[in-house]
Structure formats: structure tokens, C-alpha cells
């Protein structure tokens, strides 16, 4: 069945006015949240998530304790007001919804287990709570990017940042940072990269994407990851400047500290 909207018009513009490779507006808020050790609210366009990090702290259950590293626990919740859809779910819909939430949490955990330096915190636990506030496409990318920022804000050592973006192909035209309408219409994939090395740490897709398009999507995702990484560094630098200024020491950040971001 033909799409009800024009994904990409003859002038090369998408339904929201962006070009093929143009990312949505990105906003980052690193304000402290209650008792969390680190938090981040991130928005990609109209998609918004809040990530709170607690720990490292003592594991609540002995079965979760690992003698040589920290255990990572990820929980995801979705606010009832996060989507414009208001229809009542039947039992089958609820089971699918619950399974997708568990799958999202498992994907976030597997993405960050190799990135967090868990060996520095044996016999402890790091809790990551992700709350989806608004959904308009790119949900996994927003969750991953928000988790990166919340972990960094909590001072938990990472071997690198993780920067994620969704890419898709309309006919033969690659596109980045898809909205929900676009995700429903074109085959797409979420790619997470480590910007320092350019390595791909996550590739996941729910729709078929021709193998010939993979290489181009990877290349574009790597370039987008560098753009997102620059925004991360800027937000964390501004946060550090604010905190140092609040302590009365003046906003001084050494070159060595800036290089660590």
C-alpha cells in the first residue's frame, strides 16, 4: 500500500523539512535528579528520555554479586502520556509491549557492558533507569545516548562514549535520524559507534535492509556519531563549568580533563 505521506520529495526534503542526512534538534539536560548519582534528559526531535544512574553501590541480591566486576542492571519504563495513541490495549498487546520493553533493556545492557569499566568496582551494582517521556522515532538511539550522558554525569569510567543513530533507506536514498512516521514506512537500522575508534558496538534492526545499503548506513552513522559526540562533550563541559563555578573555584577545566571526554 502506498504511503500516506511523502517521505522524500523531489527537492530532497523530508516531511519535517530536513534533508536526507540532517539530524533532528538535539537538546541535553544534565541537571541532578533526586538521589541519582547521575542523570540526563535527552531529546531527539520530539523523542525524549530521562536516564538516571545509581551506583556503583552494594548489590541488593547475593546472586547478582560478581567478585571481579560490577553487575549492570537496566530497567526501562514508558510513561502513559509518551505517545499520542490512546486506544486501550488488549491482553495480547500488553504481552507484546512488555516483551519490547524487556528487549530494549537487554539491548541497552549488552551495549554498555563492554564499555563501562566494571572491573574497577568488584562486588557492586550499577543501576540504570530509563524513562521514556515522549516517542517519535529513534527510541533506542535516544535511550543509548541518554545512558551515555547519565553514566558520564555520574562519573563512571567508560572506555569511550557510545553514540547511536537510526538510519534507513527510502527507495535508494539513505536517511538518518528517522521519525516515527519514517520508521513505519522505510526499512531501518539503529547503529551505535564508539567515536574515538570508529568501531561499531551495536547494530539492530526490525525490518529487512538490503546488504548493499549496510556499508553506506555504517559510514553515515559514523559521521553522525562524531556530530553527536561533539554535542555530548559540549554539554558535559558546560555542566562541569557550572558545578565548578557553584563551588566558588571559578570555571577552570584543564586540557587534560577536556581530552578525557
Element (H, E) at 212: helix 211-246
Give domain 26-260's CATH architecture.
Answer: 2-Layer Sandwich (3.30)
64, 71 Cβ separation under 8 angstroms: yes
In 8-92, the DSSP E strands lie at: 26-29, 38-44, 47-58, 71-78
The residues, any chain, with a CB within 8 Å of residue 127's CB and separated by 6 or more, are 53, 54, 55, 57, 73, 75
The residues, any chain, with a CB within 8 Å of residue 31's CB and separated by 6 or more, are 39, 41
CA distances in angstroms from 49 to 8, 66, 72, 141, 150, listed in the order given: 27, 30, 19, 10, 11
CA distances in angstroms from 251 to 30, 241, 247, 248, listed in the order given: 17, 5, 9, 9
For the chain, list residues with pLDDT below 50. 1-3, 86, 251
Cα–Cα distance measured from residue 71 to residue 64, given in angstroms and rounded to the nearest whole number: 7
φ, ψ for residue 239, nearest 5 deg: -65, -45
- pLDDT (0 to 100) of residue 207: 74
**Where along the chain do its domains lie?**
26-260
CA atoms within 13 A on the CB side of 136: 12
pTM of the entire structure?
0.89
The residues, any chain, with a CB within 8 Å of residue 78's CB and separated by 6 or more, are 101, 131, 132, 135
Phi-psi region of 130 (alpha: psi -120 to 50; beta: other; left: phi over 0): beta
- pLDDT (0 to 100) of residue 249: 54
- pLDDT (0 to 100) of residue 215: 83
- pLDDT (0 to 100) of residue 128: 98
Amino acid at each position: 500500500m502506498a504511503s500516506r505521506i511523502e517521505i522524500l520529495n523531489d527537492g530532497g526534503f523530508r516531511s519535517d523539512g530536513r534533508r536526507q542526512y540532517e539530524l533532528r534538534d538535539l537538546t541535553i539536560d544534565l541537571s541532578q535528579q533526586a538521589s541519582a548519582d547521575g542523570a540526563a534528559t535527552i531529546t531527539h526531535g520530539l523523542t525524549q528520555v530521562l536516564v538516571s544512574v545509581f551506583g556503583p553501590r552494594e548489590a541488593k541480591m547475593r546472586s547478582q554479586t560478581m567478585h571481579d566486576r560490577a553487575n549492570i542492571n537496566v530497567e526501562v519504563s514508558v510513561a502513559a502520556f509518551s505517545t499520542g495513541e490512546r486506544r486501550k490495549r488488549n491482553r495480547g498487546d500488553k504481552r507484546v509491549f512488555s516483551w519490547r520493553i524487556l528487549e530494549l533493556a537487554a539491548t541497552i545492557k549488552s551495549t554498555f557492558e563492554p564499555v563501562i569499566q566494571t572491573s574497577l568496582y568488584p562486588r557492586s551494582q550499577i543501576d540504570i533507569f530509563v524513562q521514556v517521556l515522549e516517542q517519535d522515532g529513534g527510541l533506542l538511539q535516544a535511550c543509548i545516548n541518554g545512558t551515555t550522558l547519565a553514566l558520564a554525569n555520574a562519573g563512571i569510567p567508560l572506555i569511550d562514549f557510545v553514540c547511536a543513530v537510526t538510519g534507513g533507506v527510502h527507495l535508494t536514498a539513505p536517511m538518518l535520524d528517522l521519525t516515527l512516521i519514517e520508521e513505519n514506512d522505510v526499512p531501518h537500522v539503529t547503529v551505535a559507534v564508539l567515536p574515538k575508534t570508529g568501531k561499531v558496538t551495536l547494530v539492530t534492526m526490525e525490518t529487512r535492509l538490503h546488504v548493499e545499503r549496510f556499508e553506506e548506513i555504517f559510514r553515515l552513522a559514523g559521521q553522525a556519531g562524531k556530530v553527536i559526540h561533539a554535542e555530548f562533550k559540549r554539554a558535559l563541559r558546560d555542566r562541569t563549568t557550572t558545578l565548578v563555578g557553584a563551588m566558588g573555584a571559578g570555571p577552570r577545566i584543564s586540557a587534560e580533563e577536556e581530552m578525557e571526554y
